Structure 1
Amino acid sequence: MTQTLPAPAPTGPHAGPMRRTAVVAGVLYLVTFVTSVPTLALYGPLKGDAGFVLGAGDTTGVVWGALLEVALAVACVGTAVVLFPVVRRQSETAALGFLASRVVEAGLILVGVVSVLSVLALRDDVAGTGGADADALVATGSALVAVHDGTFLLGQSLMPVLSALCLGSAVYRAGLVPRVIPVVGLAGAPLLLASDIAVACGVHEQGTALAGLAALPIAAWELAFGIWLVVRGFRPSPVLG
């Protein structure tokens, strides 16, 4: 039986810098994964109780969720900045598309964080002044939560579709990682896009099992890509020179 051995690490004058690039990009991808997964649970008190703005529930998890999302936004931009020179050697269009999608994703995440911090500020004002119009405060808080939901749909759900299409296609053509990894992302992109459209049209809601299943392939592609870059680095490719 013939045993297939793993591809050797890149050699030549660029091997050292490219290995460092792969490790940094991989770590940043893993950071995006670690910082994005817990936020849904941490925002539970905020999303699950309209009276949160009036003082119901604990703020600790919500504060940590906001901090994690700031770290997520920074890591998103970091992945694009680090990988841009590598992807550009394969396709400048794909590199620009990937960079743009990650920057837009980070911007939308930060808009969502601002809406969360605004709810916390309203809550502090209520605690300090006693609040006069509870209905108005609840309506304002609900509107700010809706803003966060919208930024999540566009930023953390739609933009990863564009990122997977741009980065995945370039990585697949260059063979920088095993092709099964970008194939998962490329296959999952239309599935998540369809789910995003369904959420926007009211067919199903964010956070449901159906929406979660639609996001799994993209999550798997990003996680596998990050792990591979950290452990193995880029495969030898003409793109690396």
Structure 2
Amino acid sequence: MSSARRSAVVVGVLFLVTEVAAVGGLALYGPALHDTGYVLGAGRDTRVFLGALCEFVLALAVTGTGAVLYPVLRRRSEGAALGYVCGRLLEATVILVGIVSVLSVVTLRQQGQGAAAAADPSLVTAARALVAFHDWTFLFGPNFVLGANTLVLAALMYTSRLVPRPIAVLGLVGGALICASATAVLFGVYEQVSLPGSLAALPVFAWEVTLAVRLLAKGFGEGAGTPVGAGTPLGADAG
């Protein structure tokens, strides 16, 4: 197996991990994010901890995709490849900040147990502020930054033919849509977790899953092993 083929397999697996971890984390976070009385109740801390673990795995996988793709992408455009790596690092950092805000809600609940705490409205106010903080990180990380990263990667894939162009076009459409949706959420047109928001996120989801399947099945296309301006692509890297 060539180095490009190995990289393609690793990237494909990492993209699938990001999808599973992202959906799992959001679902498991439910009690802390949507129950305003969570901080005063018995709590479902184990479920929230599992959600945090999923989000941590997500951050690692996001970082991994940038690191593994860099040697392949820099043969086409070193500046864009470096930008993609930095963008993925930024996305992972915002995700980690969101994890800390949700876990802080759990800490408030654990330290504020008791009748006196239940009568203290400041606990609910503090918990809501932390949830709001998480919601903003969720908007800027897995939406704005993800959209920008998707556009950069899809553009590189399109120009270099690392994957079939219809797949790259799906990424370009998905990245643009999720950035537009995030802008609409920012200005209060609709809620992030809503039908319009979910529909706008579907093309990015489809892009990442389709890209992962393509890389696992056939690897990179003709541009994987050849720098810009070089001769015939390496046949072994064509997938």
TM-score by length of 1: 0.89
Identical aligned residues as a percent: 48
Deviates more, 1:67-76 or 1:92-101: 92-101
State the one-letter code of the partner of 2:24. Answer: P
Deviation, 1:143, is 0.4
2:11–2:212 Cα contact (<8 Å) kept: yes
Distance 1:193 1:121 in 2: 33
Match of 2:132 in 1: 146
Match of 2:30 in 1: 44
1:35–1:69 Cα contact (<8 Å) kept: yes
Match of 1:117 in 2: 103
1:172–1:182 Cα contact (<8 Å) kept: yes
Establish whether residue 189 from structure 1 lines up as the match of residue 175 from structure 2: yes
Distance 1:141 1:110 in 2: 18
Deviation, 1:236, is 2.6
Deviation, 1:94, is 1.6
Deviation, 1:38, is 2.0
Establish whether residue 224 from structure 1 lines up as the match of residue 210 from structure 2: yes
Distance 1:43 1:130 in 2: 26
Of residues 80, 97, 108 in structure 2, which corresponds to 1:94?
80
Deviation, 1:16, is 1.2
Match of 1:17 in 2: 3
1:165–1:185 Cα contact (<8 Å) kept: yes
1:176–1:236 Cα contact (<8 Å) kept: yes
Deviation, 1:212, is 0.4
Segments of structure 1 that go 5 or more residues without pairing to the other structure are 1-14
CA-to-aligned-CA distance 1:155-174 (integer Å, 9 cap, x gap): 01111111111111111111
Query: CA 1:214 to 1:132, structure 2 compared with 1: closer, same or farther past 3 Å?
Result: closer
CA-to-aligned-CA distance 1:182-227 (integer Å, 9 cap, x gap): 1101012221111101111111011101000001111111111111
Distance 1:204 1:134 in 2: 32
Establish whether residue 137 from structure 1 lines up as the match of residue 123 from structure 2: yes
Deviation, 1:39, is 2.3
Distance 2:26 2:180 in 1: 21
Match of 1:164 in 2: 150
Segments of structure 2 that go 5 or more residues without pairing to the other structure are 228-232, 235-239
CA-to-aligned-CA distance 1:52-110 (integer Å, 9 cap, x gap): 11125422321111110000001100000000111111112221221111100000000
Distance 2:97 2:203 in 1: 26
2:151–2:176 Cα contact (<8 Å) kept: no
Distance 1:152 1:223 in 2: 20
1:54–1:134 Cα contact (<8 Å) kept: no
Deviates more, 1:121-130 or 1:80-89: 121-130
SS in structure 2 of the partner of residue 127 of structure 1: coil
Distance 1:209 1:57 in 2: 28
SS in structure 2 of the partner of residue 90 of structure 1: coil
SS in structure 2 of the partner of residue 143 of structure 1: helix
State the one-letter code of the partner of 2:209. Answer: L
2:181–2:197 Cα contact (<8 Å) kept: yes
**Bigger RCO of structures 1 and 2 (CA < 8 A, at least 6 apart):** 1
Query: CA 1:131 to 1:179, structure 2 compared with 1: closer, same or farther past 3 Å?
Result: same
